Amino acid sequence: MKKIYTIIILAIILSSCASDKKKSVEDVIATNDLKEIRAKKDQIIFKQLEIVEQLKQLDEKIDELDMTKRVPLISTFLVKETVFNHYLELQGSVSTKGLLIIHPEYSGILSKVYVKEGQRVNKGQVLAKIDDGGLSQQLSQLQIQTDLAKTTFERQQRLWKQNIGSEIQYLQAKSNYEAQQQAVKQIQIQLNKTIVKAPFSGTIDDVISEQGSVVTPGQSQLMRIVNLDNMYIETDVPERYISNVVKNKDVLIEFPVLGRTIKAKVRQAGHFINPANRTFKVEIGIPNMDKTIKPNLTAKLKINDYTNEKALLIPQNIISEDSKGQQYIYVIKDKKENNQGIAKKVIIKTGKAKGDVIEVLSGIDEGAEIINEGARRVVEGQTVEIDN
Protein backbone atom coordinates (compact mmCIF):
# COMPACT_ATOMS: atom_id res chain seq x y z
CA MET A 1 0.00 0.00 0.00
CA LYS A 2 2.87 2.33 0.84
CA LYS A 3 4.27 1.83 -2.61
CA ILE A 4 0.94 2.66 -4.29
CA TYR A 5 0.53 5.88 -2.30
CA THR A 6 4.06 6.94 -3.23
CA ILE A 7 3.34 6.38 -6.93
CA ILE A 8 0.09 8.40 -6.75
CA ILE A 9 1.82 11.34 -5.05
CA LEU A 10 4.60 11.25 -7.60
CA ALA A 11 2.05 11.24 -10.40
CA ILE A 12 0.36 14.33 -9.02
CA ILE A 13 3.65 16.13 -8.65
CA LEU A 14 4.79 15.17 -12.11
CA SER A 15 1.53 16.18 -13.73
CA SER A 16 1.98 19.65 -12.29
CA CYS A 17 5.39 19.77 -13.81
CA ALA A 18 4.39 18.44 -17.25
CA SER A 19 5.72 21.49 -18.87
CA ASP A 20 9.17 20.69 -17.51
CA LYS A 21 9.23 17.09 -18.78
CA LYS A 22 11.11 18.02 -21.90
CA LYS A 23 13.84 19.81 -20.02
CA SER A 24 17.06 17.88 -19.64
CA VAL A 25 18.68 17.34 -16.27
CA GLU A 26 21.35 19.88 -17.17
CA ASP A 27 18.72 22.49 -18.03
CA VAL A 28 16.89 21.96 -14.75
CA ILE A 29 20.12 22.14 -12.75
CA ALA A 30 21.02 25.39 -14.57
CA THR A 31 17.80 27.06 -13.32
CA ASN A 32 19.02 26.85 -9.73
CA ASP A 33 15.34 26.42 -8.83
CA LEU A 34 15.17 24.00 -5.86
CA LYS A 35 11.51 23.20 -6.40
CA GLU A 36 12.03 22.42 -10.09
CA ILE A 37 15.13 20.28 -9.38
CA ARG A 38 13.21 18.21 -6.80
CA ALA A 39 10.35 17.76 -9.22
CA LYS A 40 12.76 16.49 -11.89
CA LYS A 41 14.24 14.01 -9.41
CA ASP A 42 10.78 12.69 -8.49
CA GLN A 43 10.01 12.34 -12.19
CA ILE A 44 13.12 10.17 -12.74
CA ILE A 45 12.35 8.02 -9.65
CA PHE A 46 8.83 7.38 -10.93
CA LYS A 47 10.20 6.22 -14.28
CA GLN A 48 12.66 3.96 -12.46
CA LEU A 49 9.89 2.32 -10.45
CA GLU A 50 7.87 1.87 -13.60
CA ILE A 51 10.81 0.13 -15.34
CA VAL A 52 11.44 -2.19 -12.33
CA GLU A 53 7.78 -3.26 -12.38
CA GLN A 54 7.94 -3.96 -16.10
CA LEU A 55 11.14 -6.03 -15.68
CA LYS A 56 9.47 -8.07 -12.95
CA GLN A 57 6.54 -8.89 -15.23
CA LEU A 58 8.89 -9.89 -18.02
CA ASP A 59 10.89 -12.17 -15.70
CA GLU A 60 7.73 -13.93 -14.52
CA LYS A 61 6.68 -14.64 -18.08
CA ILE A 62 10.17 -15.89 -19.00
CA ASP A 63 10.11 -18.26 -16.02
CA GLU A 64 6.72 -19.55 -17.12
CA LEU A 65 7.77 -20.22 -20.69
CA ASP A 66 11.42 -21.35 -20.22
CA MET A 67 11.14 -25.03 -19.16
CA THR A 68 14.90 -25.63 -19.19
CA LYS A 69 15.41 -23.17 -16.39
CA ARG A 70 13.16 -25.20 -14.06
CA VAL A 71 14.79 -28.61 -14.60
CA PRO A 72 16.38 -29.70 -11.27
CA LEU A 73 19.86 -31.23 -11.22
CA ILE A 74 20.01 -34.68 -9.59
CA SER A 75 22.32 -37.69 -9.32
CA THR A 76 21.42 -41.34 -9.81
CA PHE A 77 22.77 -44.86 -9.34
CA LEU A 78 21.98 -48.23 -10.85
CA VAL A 79 20.77 -50.77 -8.33
CA LYS A 80 22.58 -54.12 -8.50
CA GLU A 81 22.13 -57.48 -6.83
CA THR A 82 24.57 -58.07 -4.00
CA VAL A 83 25.09 -60.39 -1.03
CA PHE A 84 23.40 -58.95 2.05
CA ASN A 85 24.22 -60.22 5.53
CA HIS A 86 22.21 -58.92 8.46
CA TYR A 87 23.56 -59.25 11.99
CA LEU A 88 21.87 -59.39 15.38
CA GLU A 89 23.93 -57.36 17.86
CA LEU A 90 24.25 -58.64 21.43
CA GLN A 91 26.69 -58.58 24.33
CA GLY A 92 28.28 -61.39 26.30
CA SER A 93 31.27 -62.37 28.39
CA VAL A 94 33.89 -65.05 27.87
CA SER A 95 33.74 -68.33 29.79
CA THR A 96 35.71 -71.54 29.63
CA LYS A 97 34.93 -75.18 30.26
CA GLY A 98 38.40 -75.47 31.78
CA LEU A 99 38.09 -73.22 34.84
CA LEU A 100 38.01 -74.97 38.19
CA ILE A 101 38.66 -74.34 41.86
CA ILE A 102 40.32 -77.48 43.21
CA HIS A 103 39.02 -78.65 46.62
CA PRO A 104 40.57 -81.33 48.86
CA GLU A 105 38.97 -84.75 49.26
CA TYR A 106 40.72 -85.48 52.54
CA SER A 107 41.05 -83.62 55.83
CA GLY A 108 44.52 -82.90 57.11
CA ILE A 109 47.56 -80.69 56.82
CA LEU A 110 48.63 -79.61 53.32
CA SER A 111 52.13 -81.01 53.64
CA LYS A 112 53.40 -80.33 50.10
CA VAL A 113 52.55 -77.92 47.27
CA TYR A 114 54.43 -78.88 44.12
CA VAL A 115 53.32 -76.07 41.78
CA LYS A 116 53.32 -72.29 41.70
CA GLU A 117 51.14 -69.63 40.09
CA GLY A 118 51.48 -69.40 36.30
CA GLN A 119 52.89 -72.92 36.00
CA ARG A 120 51.67 -75.08 33.12
CA VAL A 121 50.51 -78.55 34.24
CA ASN A 122 49.27 -81.68 32.49
CA LYS A 123 46.23 -83.77 33.24
CA GLY A 124 46.97 -86.18 36.11
CA GLN A 125 50.06 -84.30 37.29
CA VAL A 126 50.50 -84.22 41.11
CA LEU A 127 49.85 -80.71 42.40
CA ALA A 128 49.91 -81.15 46.18
CA LYS A 129 50.02 -83.71 49.01
CA ILE A 130 47.91 -83.84 52.18
CA ASP A 131 49.34 -85.57 55.27
CA ASP A 132 47.62 -88.97 55.47
CA GLY A 133 47.63 -89.17 59.28
CA GLY A 134 49.11 -92.67 59.46
CA LEU A 135 47.15 -94.28 56.61
CA SER A 136 50.39 -95.43 54.95
CA GLN A 137 51.33 -97.48 58.05
CA GLN A 138 47.84 -98.96 58.19
CA LEU A 139 48.15 -99.94 54.54
CA SER A 140 51.49 -101.63 55.16
CA GLN A 141 50.04 -103.69 58.02
CA LEU A 142 46.97 -104.62 55.99
CA GLN A 143 49.17 -105.63 53.06
CA ILE A 144 51.09 -108.06 55.33
CA GLN A 145 47.82 -109.52 56.60
CA THR A 146 46.54 -109.79 53.07
CA ASP A 147 49.64 -111.64 51.93
CA LEU A 148 49.17 -114.10 54.80
CA ALA A 149 45.48 -114.54 53.97
CA LYS A 150 46.41 -115.14 50.34
CA THR A 151 48.93 -117.85 51.24
CA THR A 152 46.43 -119.55 53.57
CA PHE A 153 43.72 -119.44 50.91
CA GLU A 154 45.96 -120.87 48.18
CA ARG A 155 47.02 -123.77 50.42
CA GLN A 156 43.46 -124.47 51.49
CA GLN A 157 42.40 -124.34 47.85
CA ARG A 158 44.99 -126.98 46.88
CA LEU A 159 43.86 -129.24 49.73
CA TRP A 160 40.24 -128.78 48.80
CA LYS A 161 40.98 -129.85 45.23
CA GLN A 162 42.61 -133.02 46.65
CA ASN A 163 39.50 -133.63 48.78
CA ILE A 164 41.51 -132.93 51.94
CA GLY A 165 39.91 -130.82 54.65
CA SER A 166 36.38 -129.51 55.02
CA GLU A 167 34.51 -127.13 52.72
CA ILE A 168 34.00 -124.69 55.57
CA GLN A 169 37.75 -124.30 56.03
CA TYR A 170 38.13 -123.54 52.32
CA LEU A 171 35.29 -120.98 52.36
CA GLN A 172 36.62 -119.31 55.51
CA ALA A 173 40.08 -118.94 53.97
CA LYS A 174 38.60 -117.53 50.78
CA SER A 175 36.36 -115.08 52.67
CA ASN A 176 39.22 -113.89 54.86
CA TYR A 177 41.45 -113.26 51.83
CA GLU A 178 38.73 -111.33 49.96
CA ALA A 179 37.99 -109.25 53.09
CA GLN A 180 41.66 -108.34 53.43
CA GLN A 181 41.79 -107.34 49.72
CA GLN A 182 38.75 -105.13 50.19
CA ALA A 183 40.28 -103.49 53.25
CA VAL A 184 43.47 -102.76 51.28
CA LYS A 185 41.43 -101.18 48.47
CA GLN A 186 39.58 -98.92 50.91
CA ILE A 187 42.81 -97.71 52.46
CA GLN A 188 44.29 -97.15 48.98
CA ILE A 189 41.24 -95.09 47.98
CA GLN A 190 41.68 -92.95 51.09
CA LEU A 191 45.40 -92.55 50.39
CA ASN A 192 44.69 -91.52 46.78
CA LYS A 193 42.54 -88.69 48.15
CA THR A 194 45.58 -87.28 49.92
CA ILE A 195 47.27 -86.74 46.54
CA VAL A 196 45.88 -83.72 44.61
CA LYS A 197 46.13 -84.16 40.84
CA ALA A 198 45.33 -81.89 37.89
CA PRO A 199 41.85 -82.76 36.51
CA PHE A 200 42.88 -81.43 33.10
CA SER A 201 45.82 -79.76 31.39
CA GLY A 202 46.06 -76.04 32.01
CA THR A 203 47.73 -73.27 33.97
CA ILE A 204 47.73 -72.79 37.75
CA ASP A 205 46.12 -69.37 37.99
CA ASP A 206 46.20 -69.05 41.78
CA VAL A 207 47.51 -71.06 44.73
CA ILE A 208 44.93 -70.32 47.41
CA SER A 209 46.02 -72.53 50.33
CA GLU A 210 49.64 -72.34 51.40
CA GLN A 211 51.77 -75.32 52.43
CA GLY A 212 51.13 -76.19 56.10
CA SER A 213 47.48 -75.12 56.06
CA VAL A 214 44.78 -77.37 57.51
CA VAL A 215 42.33 -78.23 54.75
CA THR A 216 38.85 -79.74 54.84
CA PRO A 217 36.74 -81.25 52.03
CA GLY A 218 33.94 -79.01 50.81
CA GLN A 219 35.31 -75.93 52.60
CA SER A 220 38.95 -75.30 51.77
CA GLN A 221 40.08 -74.10 48.34
CA LEU A 222 43.48 -75.34 47.28
CA MET A 223 44.14 -73.68 43.92
CA ARG A 224 42.51 -72.45 40.72
CA ILE A 225 43.39 -74.08 37.39
CA VAL A 226 42.40 -72.64 34.04
CA ASN A 227 42.59 -73.90 30.48
CA LEU A 228 42.32 -71.23 27.74
CA ASP A 229 41.89 -73.70 24.87
CA ASN A 230 38.16 -74.39 25.20
CA MET A 231 36.83 -70.81 25.40
CA TYR A 232 33.27 -69.82 24.60
CA ILE A 233 30.69 -67.05 24.97
CA GLU A 234 27.19 -67.73 26.22
CA THR A 235 24.50 -65.13 25.63
CA ASP A 236 20.71 -64.77 25.70
CA VAL A 237 18.92 -64.33 22.35
CA PRO A 238 15.31 -63.03 22.07
CA GLU A 239 12.87 -65.82 21.18
CA ARG A 240 11.81 -64.19 17.88
CA TYR A 241 15.20 -65.18 16.44
CA ILE A 242 14.91 -68.88 17.36
CA SER A 243 14.46 -69.96 13.73
CA ASN A 244 17.29 -67.72 12.43
CA VAL A 245 19.99 -68.09 15.06
CA VAL A 246 20.91 -71.77 14.83
CA LYS A 247 24.01 -73.96 15.05
CA ASN A 248 26.90 -73.06 12.68
CA LYS A 249 25.66 -69.50 12.04
CA ASP A 250 28.54 -67.04 11.48
CA VAL A 251 29.41 -64.66 14.31
CA LEU A 252 31.66 -61.59 14.47
CA ILE A 253 33.10 -61.13 17.96
CA GLU A 254 34.60 -57.79 18.96
CA PHE A 255 36.73 -57.41 22.08
CA PRO A 256 36.86 -53.64 22.81
CA VAL A 257 39.60 -54.01 25.43
CA LEU A 258 41.87 -55.95 23.08
CA GLY A 259 40.92 -53.95 19.97
CA ARG A 260 40.34 -57.23 18.11
CA THR A 261 37.54 -58.73 16.04
CA ILE A 262 37.47 -62.44 15.29
CA LYS A 263 35.21 -64.75 13.31
CA ALA A 264 33.47 -67.68 14.97
CA LYS A 265 30.36 -69.85 14.70
CA VAL A 266 27.40 -70.70 16.89
CA ARG A 267 28.46 -73.94 18.60
CA GLN A 268 25.17 -74.66 20.30
CA ALA A 269 21.69 -73.07 20.25
CA GLY A 270 19.32 -73.81 23.11
CA HIS A 271 15.90 -75.39 22.66
CA PHE A 272 14.42 -74.01 25.87
CA ILE A 273 12.72 -70.59 26.13
CA ASN A 274 13.27 -68.93 29.49
CA PRO A 275 9.75 -67.84 30.60
CA ALA A 276 11.19 -65.04 32.74
CA ASN A 277 12.77 -63.04 29.88
CA ARG A 278 11.61 -64.92 26.73
CA THR A 279 15.14 -65.75 25.57
CA PHE A 280 17.14 -68.85 24.72
CA LYS A 281 20.81 -69.63 25.29
CA VAL A 282 23.43 -69.59 22.54
CA GLU A 283 27.00 -70.80 22.93
CA ILE A 284 29.75 -69.57 20.61
CA GLY A 285 33.13 -71.27 20.50
CA ILE A 286 36.18 -68.98 20.45
CA PRO A 287 39.51 -69.79 18.78
CA ASN A 288 42.23 -68.72 21.21
CA MET A 289 45.54 -69.82 19.76
CA ASP A 290 47.59 -66.97 21.27
CA LYS A 291 45.87 -67.25 24.69
CA THR A 292 45.12 -63.49 24.82
CA ILE A 293 41.39 -64.00 25.44
CA LYS A 294 40.66 -64.46 29.14
CA PRO A 295 37.59 -65.62 31.10
CA ASN A 296 34.99 -62.91 31.90
CA LEU A 297 36.28 -60.65 29.12
CA THR A 298 33.46 -58.48 27.72
CA ALA A 299 32.57 -59.05 24.06
CA LYS A 300 30.22 -57.54 21.47
CA LEU A 301 28.55 -60.11 19.26
CA LYS A 302 27.17 -59.79 15.75
CA ILE A 303 25.29 -62.99 14.90
CA ASN A 304 24.34 -63.52 11.26
CA ASP A 305 20.55 -64.00 11.46
CA TYR A 306 19.70 -63.34 7.80
CA THR A 307 21.42 -63.66 4.41
CA ASN A 308 20.16 -62.74 0.92
CA GLU A 309 22.48 -63.71 -1.92
CA LYS A 310 20.66 -61.44 -4.42
CA ALA A 311 19.65 -58.42 -2.39
CA LEU A 312 18.81 -54.97 -3.82
CA LEU A 313 20.17 -52.32 -1.45
CA ILE A 314 19.44 -48.57 -1.48
CA PRO A 315 20.30 -45.69 0.91
CA GLN A 316 17.69 -45.19 3.60
CA ASN A 317 17.77 -41.40 3.29
CA ILE A 318 16.20 -41.38 -0.21
CA ILE A 319 13.02 -43.14 0.97
CA SER A 320 9.91 -41.04 1.58
CA GLU A 321 6.52 -41.95 2.98
CA ASP A 322 3.10 -40.85 1.75
CA SER A 323 -0.09 -40.17 3.71
CA LYS A 324 -1.06 -43.85 3.52
CA GLY A 325 2.18 -44.93 5.15
CA GLN A 326 3.56 -46.35 1.90
CA GLN A 327 7.28 -46.00 1.24
CA TYR A 328 8.36 -44.69 -2.15
CA ILE A 329 11.39 -43.60 -4.14
CA TYR A 330 11.92 -41.96 -7.54
CA VAL A 331 13.38 -43.72 -10.55
CA ILE A 332 14.35 -42.37 -13.98
CA LYS A 333 12.16 -43.15 -17.00
CA ASP A 334 12.51 -42.11 -20.66
CA LYS A 335 16.13 -41.04 -20.33
CA LYS A 336 17.36 -38.99 -23.29
CA GLU A 337 20.76 -38.38 -24.83
CA ASN A 338 21.02 -34.97 -23.14
CA ASN A 339 20.95 -36.73 -19.73
CA GLN A 340 17.42 -35.61 -19.04
CA GLY A 341 14.64 -37.94 -17.97
CA ILE A 342 11.33 -38.17 -16.18
CA ALA A 343 11.10 -38.77 -12.41
CA LYS A 344 8.70 -41.62 -11.67
CA LYS A 345 7.39 -42.37 -8.20
CA VAL A 346 7.64 -46.07 -7.26
CA ILE A 347 6.06 -47.69 -4.20
CA ILE A 348 8.48 -50.13 -2.56
CA LYS A 349 8.49 -52.67 0.25
CA THR A 350 11.61 -52.79 2.40
CA GLY A 351 13.18 -55.50 4.53
CA LYS A 352 16.10 -55.46 6.95
CA ALA A 353 18.45 -52.51 7.33
CA LYS A 354 22.19 -52.45 7.95
CA GLY A 355 23.96 -49.17 8.60
CA ASP A 356 22.86 -46.58 6.01
CA VAL A 357 21.36 -49.05 3.54
CA ILE A 358 18.16 -51.07 3.48
CA GLU A 359 16.98 -54.08 1.51
CA VAL A 360 14.21 -53.58 -1.08
CA LEU A 361 11.91 -56.60 -1.31
CA SER A 362 9.59 -55.38 -4.07
CA GLY A 363 8.94 -52.40 -6.34
CA ILE A 364 12.20 -52.27 -8.31
CA ASP A 365 14.33 -54.67 -10.33
CA GLU A 366 18.06 -54.97 -10.88
CA GLY A 367 19.32 -52.25 -13.21
CA ALA A 368 16.75 -49.64 -12.17
CA GLU A 369 18.18 -46.10 -12.21
CA ILE A 370 17.28 -44.53 -8.88
CA ILE A 371 17.45 -40.84 -7.97
CA ASN A 372 19.91 -40.34 -5.13
CA GLU A 373 20.93 -36.72 -4.46
CA GLY A 374 17.97 -34.43 -5.02
CA ALA A 375 15.40 -37.19 -4.46
CA ARG A 376 13.39 -35.04 -2.06
CA ARG A 377 13.22 -32.04 -4.44
CA VAL A 378 11.50 -33.76 -7.35
CA VAL A 379 7.86 -34.63 -7.96
CA GLU A 380 6.09 -37.26 -10.03
CA GLY A 381 6.44 -36.70 -13.78
CA GLN A 382 8.99 -33.89 -13.47
CA THR A 383 11.77 -33.53 -16.01
CA VAL A 384 15.16 -33.80 -14.32
CA GLU A 385 18.77 -33.46 -15.45
CA ILE A 386 21.19 -36.19 -14.40
CA ASP A 387 24.68 -35.22 -13.31
CA ASN A 388 26.69 -38.16 -12.02
- 3-state secondary structure labels for all residues of 59-72: HHHHHHHCCHHHCC
Confirm if 132 and 194 have CB atoms less than 8 A apart: yes
Nearest partner of 267 among 253, 244, 250, judged by Cα: 250
Q: What is the pLDDT of residues 135-157, one digit of tens each?
A: 888 888 889 999 998 999 888 88
**Amino acid symbol at 340:** Q
Task: Tell me the angle at which helices 2-16 and 34-65 cross, rounded to the nearest 10 degrees.
Answer: 130
- CATH class of the domain whose range is 132-193: mainly alpha
pLDDT band at 42 (very low <50, low <70, confident <90, very high): confident
Domain boundaries, the chain: 2-65, 70-82+309-386, 90-94+226-307, 132-193
Residue 126 predicted with pLDDT over 90: yes
pLDDT at 34: 84
Mean pLDDT is lowest, of 106-110, 135-139, 262-266, 305-309, for 135-139
Which CATH architecture does the domain made up of 90-94+226-307 adopt?
Beta Barrel (2.40)
Q: From CA 372, how far away is CA 353, in angstroms rounded?
A: 17
Q: What share of the chain is helix, strand, coil (3-state, %, to 5)?
A: 30, 40, 30
Q: What is the pLDDT of residues 223-252, one digit of tens each?
A: 999 988 888 999 999 999 999 999 999 999
Distance of CA 341 to the CA centre of its chain: 42
Residue 175 predicted with pLDDT over 50: yes
Q: From CA 106, how far away is CA 108, in angstroms rounded?
A: 6
Confirm if 124 and 198 have CB atoms less than 8 A apart: yes
pLDDT band at 17 (very low <50, low <70, confident <90, very high): very low
Nearest partner of 110 among 126, 127, 125, 129, judged by Cα: 129
Confirm if 127 and 224 have CB atoms less than 8 A apart: no
Nearest partner of 286 among 97, 85, 90, 86, judged by Cα: 97
pLDDT band at 287 (very low <50, low <70, confident <90, very high): confident
Q: What is the pLDDT of residues 302-340, one digit of tens each?
A: 999 899 999 999 999 999 998 889 999 999 998 888 888
CA distances from 302 to 44, 86, 273 (A): 77, 9, 21
In the chain, % of residues over pLDDT 90: 53
Which CATH architecture does the domain made up of 70-82+309-386 adopt?
Beta Barrel (2.40)
Confirm if 292 and 331 have CB atoms less than 8 A apart: no
pLDDT band at 38 (very low <50, low <70, confident <90, very high): confident
pLDDT at 24: 83
Our CA dihedral for 47, 52, 55, 56, rounded to 10 degrees, sits at -140
Q: From CA 130, how far away is CA 219, in angstroms rounded?
A: 15
Nearest partner of 29 among 11, 45, 17, 41, judged by Cα: 41
Confirm if 110 and 213 have CB atoms less than 8 A apart: yes
Nearest partner of 89 among 241, 210, 224, 206, judged by Cα: 241
pLDDT at 68: 53
pTM: 0.58
pLDDT at 15: 52
